Amino acid sequence: MERIYFDNAATTSLDPVVLEAMLPYMTEKFGNPSSIYSYGRESRLGIENARKSVAKILNAHPGEIFFTSGGTEASNTAINAAIRDLGCKHIISSPIEHHATLHSVEHLHHQGVTLSFVKLLPDGHVDLENLRELLAGSKERSLVTLMHANNEIGNLLDIQAVGTLCKEFDAIFHSDTVQTVGHYPFDLRNTPVHFITGAGHKFHGPKGVGILYINENVKITPFIQGGSQERNMRAGTENLYGIIGFAKALELATAHHEEHSKHINDLRMYMAEQLQQHIPGVTFNGDLYGRSLYTVLNASFPKTEKSEMILFNLDINGICASGGSACTSGANAGSHVIRAITSNPNQIAVRFSFSKYNTKAEVDTVIAKLKELI
């Protein structure tokens, strides 16, 4: 059976060109980057070149880029450091953050840190007026942690506006940019943000490697204790071939951004149009026709016996999609994001997310199957 993969917001396939760049570091260039002999120096050079490449693409300084095991570790590091090292006593977040953020802030809240959730507008966007009120009303320094693009509904945050607000109130700003690094051009020199995160597997790089950007004006202590790797910021032998793969994938994504983003967005809008045409009662979650991530389409189907089994039946037919966030797939709790933006229990939400490898023919196949299934 031909499989159709429409869950690229969960993870993407590894680009063969990225694998090619990684292979020498899995075989002959295997030295420990901390070793001072030739094998080690060769590995160290690979890591530092990767760092320079990532920094250049994001318009940051190489000294601001730290390699991690992924987005979760990067967000945990930033959030904990803001409380421990930067004097933040109040966290402002939103109810639709990824669990890497939500669980971190809730954990700190249980330890006595004040936690506020910003209100959401009906379309799922953050209410910036309410954010201003929360910042203005805080007696103590705040950490604002808001994601750049929501992984389930695709809404895009105005990162510039939030950063400017944080500056006004001397707040620390962390943005989970896992869904947007590798998909959008960043200019960190001119973005008022203290921390951002990235994960290689969201843009055809390897799993298990990410980045944490720490603005050069911010001084924090390590989250993971041990050796002096990553300039004393992140202990543990570096994921050498993962780092090489991350940089290569980011280079490729940046070089082809224009054509790939247009192709992917055209597919997304085509699928939205086909769903409306062929599936009665379908609606879309988030701000589909406004400020949203071009890779994600979140559709709600009227709840029936048939639609309740929709993900299972799509899977049987070789079609991969998810019910909101991939990180809670298999659990019956449903999506905390969908619950936060709609109280309609008679809807079944499905997230379709696309990559450069998807085609219009695949969309047509999925629509035909959905007509049968619903």
Catalytic residues: 327
Identify the residue whose tokens are 């966290």.
Answer: 91
Residue 91's alpha-carbon distances to 40, 242, 291, in angstroms, are 41, 32, 25
Nearest to 374 by CA among 303, 293, 269, 270: 303
Residues 6+ away with beta carbon under 8 Å from 46: 25, 29, 33, 240, 243, 244
Residue 258's alpha-carbon distances to 152, 182, 328, 370, in angstroms, are 23, 12, 32, 31
Nearest to 267 by CA among 150, 359, 365, 155: 359
The encoded tokens of residue 104 equal: 């971190």
For every residue of 182-246, DSSP letters joined together read TTB---GGGS--SEEEEEGGGTTS-SS-EEEEE-TT-----SS-SS-HHHHTS-S---HHHHHHH
CA-based torsion, 177, 200, 300, 98: positive or negative: negative
Q: How does DSSP classify residue 14?
A: P
Nearest to 351 by CA among 258, 275, 257, 263: 275
